[in-house]
Structure 1
Amino acid sequence: MQRLGVVHKSFYAFLLMFFSLIATMVNQAQAAVILQYHHVSTQTPKITSIAPEQFSKHLALLQEKQYQVVSLPDLMTKVAAGQNVVNHVAITFDDGYNNLLEHAIPELEKYGFAYTIFINPQVVDQKSASSLTWAELKALTKRGATIANHGLTHDSLARIPTGTSIAEWVKQKGDEILAAQAKIAQETGQDYRLFAYPYGEYTPEWQAWLKDNDFIAFSQQSGAVGDFTDLTIVPRFPVSQPYDKIANLSDKLNTLAFDLTPLATSKSTVVSYGSVKELVMQVNNLDFHPKLLACYVSGLGKQEVTWLDETTFKVSFTQDLKPGRQRCNCTAPSISMPSRYYWYSKPWFVLQQDGQWFPL
C-alpha cells in the first residue's frame, strides 16, 4: 500500500507539472504585438521615419504571415479580459503627421488594416503645416481609424519644471490630459481612454494617475503584450529606421510577452547619472532555460546575468548608463514554443552629469 501511495503521489505530481506546462503554453501564446510608427516619408528625420516602400513591405508581411491586424481598442479589450490574442497585431502612429495621407493610410486601407493615431489636440488647433486637421481626423474615423490621446501638448510628463511640486505637476498635466480627451471626443466622436506618453517618458506617479483615471497607457519600450502586461506601460515595438528591416520586424512579430517584474529597487524611471548599477527582476514563469537568458543595455552590449535564486536574477552593468533614454532588453528562447522567444524591456531616463535633463 505504501508503494502504491508513492506511485500515486508521483503520478499526481506529474499531472500537476503537465497541466502547469499546458497552462503556461496557452497563456504565453496569447502574446500580441503593437507596432509604433511616426512618419511614413523619405523627407523627414530618419530616426522617426520609415520609407513608403518599406512600410508597404511591412504590411505585405503581415498579410503573408496571416497576422490578425486589429484595432487598438479591440486588442486592449481582449488583453484586459484575458481573451485569445494569438497572432494579433495593432498598428499605431504617434503625433498625427499629415504625410500619413500620402501613402500610409491608402496602403492600410488596401489591406483592410485598422490603425490608431495618437494626437496632441493643441497642435491640431494651431493648424501646424505638418499636422492632420480636425476635418481630416474626423474623416479618417469614418474610414476605420482610431484617434487617441497623446497629451494636450507634446510635453514630457516626466520633466517637472523647477519650483513645481510633483503634486502640482500631476494636477496641471492631468487636467490637460482630460482636456485633450474631451477635445478628441468633441471633434471626432471617439472617446477611447488610450494614452501614449510623449517621448515615451513616464514616472510611477503618472502610472498611478492614469490607472486611477481609467486610461490604458502606451510607452516606447519594446516587447510583446500578454495577460499580465502592466496596462499603465504597455510596450510597443518602434519600427522606424534603423529598426525597419523586414528581418527585424519578423523577429519582433514572433516574440512572446516576458512575465517579469522589477523588484522595488529597480522600478525607478527618472534617475541621476551613475546611480543605476544593476537591474533586479522577479521571474513569474520559467518557460525558458535560465542559462539562455540574455540581457543587453543600450550602448553597453550584453551584460552579466546572475541568478540570485530560482526566480530572481540580477543584471550587472559594466559601465554607468549614459544620459538619455536607455533600456535593458532581456530575451530568452521559449521551451514550450522553441521557434519563439521572450522579450522584455526596462527603460530609464538618465539625467546628465550636472543633474539637468538631456535634450528632447
Structure 2
Amino acid sequence: MLLIRLLWWVVLLLTTANSTLLGQMNREVVGFVYHRVGDSRYPSTNISTESFDAHLNYLKQNDFKVLTISEAVDYLRKPGERERVAVITIDDGYESFYKNGLPLLKKYGFPATVFINTETVGGSSYMDWKQLEDCLGNKIEIGNHSHSHAYFLNEAPPARYETFRSDVEKAQALITERLGITPKAFAYPYGEFDPKMAELLQEMGFSAGLAQNSGVMHGGGNLFSLPRFPMASGFSPLEKFISKANMQALKVIAEKPESFLMIANDPSPTLQVTFAQSNLMESQLQCFVQGGSCVLEKKMSGDKIEVTVKPGSALRSRRTLYTLTIKDTDGHWHWFSHLWVNPALK
C-alpha cells in the first residue's frame, strides 16, 4: 500500500511539473521598441504622435493587457491561461518621449518600460532626472541601457567583459542614487551582445535582457535574449503594427549558433534551427535575409522541421537579420529572427 501511494505521488508530481511547463510554454508576449516620438528630425528612429496614438488605440480597442517588461517576465515564468499581452519599450530616454509619448500612454492608462543610458541623462534631446522621476509616477518602469551606450563587441575578450560589467554597474549605481530604484531589466545597446554578456547580467541580478532581433517572447524562450519588433520609420504604419501585434512565436527547439556574433573571416554565416511541426504548415515556411536574398534548406525529422539558412551573398552590414515566418493550420503566422553582428564593420 505504501509503495502504491509513493508511486501515485510521483505520478502526480510529474503531471503537475509537466502541466506547469506547458502552461509557461503556452504564454507569449509581443514586444515593441520605440525611440523618439514626434521628432521628425530623425526619421529612422522616430514615430509620429499620430501613429503612436493609433498603435495604443488598437491595443486598447482589442483588449490587450499591456505590461512593463518586468511584469511580462513574471507572466512568462508562471503557468496559467494565455492572454493577449503586449509590452511597450522605449530605448535611450529621449525627451520627445516625455513630451509626446508619455501623455498618450497616460491617455490610455498604459504602462511602459524606458531604458536609459545614464551618460546622456539631462543632455541635449534627452530627459533629465526630474523628468525620469515624473515618469516613475506615471506607470513607467526605468530599465538599464548601460552608461555609455558603447559598442561593447568592438572590444576583444576578456577586456570586453570587464568593460561591460563596469559600465552597467555604473549606470545601475547612478539610477539607484538619483531615482531610488534598482532596475531589473536591461536592454543591450544596438541589440548587440554575446552569451557571456548575458551571463554577466544574470550574475548582476537582472531578470531579463532585451535584444533588437524581431519576434515574440514566449515562456520557453531565453529571458536574456528577448525579441522586440521595431516601430519606427517604415515599420510604423498601423497595418504593419496590427500584423506584428497578432504575430505568434516560432518556438525554436535548437539554434546553432546561439550567439549573434559573426565568426571572423566568414561573411556568409549559416544558421541552423529546429522547431516542432505541431500544426505548422511546412509548405508556408518563408525566409528573409535583411538586405539580400535567402538560401533555405529544410527537411522533416519525425515531428520536427530542421532548417538551414544562408545568405545569397556576403553580408555587408554590421547588423543583419535572418528571419523565418510560417503559417499554421488556424491561419496564424509565427515569427523568429536571428541577428548577426560583425564588429569589424561600423
TM class, shorter-length: 0.7 to 0.9
Aligned pair 1:90/2:84, yes or no? no
Q: Which residue of 2 aligns with 1:320?
A: 314
Counterpart code for 1:157: F
Decide which of 269, 279, 288 is 2:280's aligned counterpart.
Answer: 288
Take 1:28 and 1:285, find their aligned partners in 2: how far apart are those partners? Answer: 15
* Cα-to-partner distance string for 1:38-61 (whole Å, 9 max, x where unaligned): 000243311100011111111111
Q: Which residue of 2 aligns with 1:9?
A: none
Structure 1 residues 113 and 85 mapped into 2: Cα distance closer, same or farther (>3 Å)?
farther
| SS of structure 2 residue aligned to 1:171 | helix
Take 1:285 and 1:157, find their aligned partners in 2: how far apart are those partners? Answer: 37
Aligned pair 1:117/2:114, yes or no? yes
- Asked if structure 1 preserves the Cα contact closer than 8 Å seen for 2:249 and 2:334, the reply is yes
Take 2:154 and 2:52, find their aligned partners in 1: how far apart are those partners? Answer: 33
Counterpart code for 2:189: P
- Asked if structure 2 preserves the Cα contact closer than 8 Å seen for 1:30 and 1:227, the reply is yes
| SS of structure 2 residue aligned to 1:166 | coil
- Asked if structure 1 preserves the Cα contact closer than 8 Å seen for 2:321 and 2:340, the reply is yes
Give how far 1:79 is off: 1.1
Q: Which residue of 2 aligns with 1:18?
A: none
TM-score relative to the length of structure 2: 0.87
Take 1:287 and 1:322, find their aligned partners in 2: how far apart are those partners? Answer: 36
Aligned pair 1:219/2:211, yes or no? yes
Q: Percent identity?
A: 23
Take 2:259 and 2:117, find their aligned partners in 1: how far apart are those partners? Answer: 28
The count of residues paired between Structure 1 and Structure 2 equals 325
Decide which of 73, 92, 111 is 1:76's aligned counterpart.
Answer: 73
Aligned-pair Cα RMSD in Å: 2.3
Q: Which residue of 2 aligns with 1:36?
A: 33
- Asked if structure 1 preserves the Cα contact closer than 8 Å seen for 2:113 and 2:143, the reply is yes
Structure 1 residues 136 and 85 mapped into 2: Cα distance closer, same or farther (>3 Å)?
farther
Take 1:103 and 1:184, find their aligned partners in 2: how far apart are those partners? Answer: 23
- Asked if structure 2 preserves the Cα contact closer than 8 Å seen for 1:308 and 1:314, the reply is no
* Cα-to-partner distance string for 1:280-328 (whole Å, 9 max, x where unaligned): 1121453312222111111224542322634322123322222221011
Decide which of 148, 152, 157 is 1:153's aligned counterpart.
Answer: 148
Q: Could you list the runs of 5+ residues in structure 1 that have no partner in the other structure?
A: 1-21
Q: Could you list the runs of 5+ residues in structure 2 that have no partner in the other structure?
A: 1-18
| SS of structure 2 residue aligned to 1:132 | coil
Aligned pair 1:210/2:169, yes or no? no
Decide which of 217, 238, 247 is 1:255's aligned counterpart.
Answer: 247
Counterpart code for 1:50: I
| Correspondence 1:1-360 to 2 at 5 A | 29-84=26-81, 86-124=83-121, 127-160=122-155, 165-215=156-206, 216-265=208-257, 267-272=259-264, 274-284=266-276, 286-307=278-299, 309-310=301-302, 311=304, 312-335=306-329, 338-351=330-343, 356-358=344-346
Give how far 1:211 is off: 2.6
- Asked if structure 2 preserves the Cα contact closer than 8 Å seen for 1:222 and 1:235, the reply is yes
Which segment drifts farther, 73-82 or 48-57?
73-82
TM-score relative to the length of structure 1: 0.84
Structure 1 residues 23 and 339 mapped into 2: Cα distance closer, same or farther (>3 Å)?
farther
* Cα-to-partner distance string for 1:24-48 (whole Å, 9 max, x where unaligned): 9966652111110000024331110
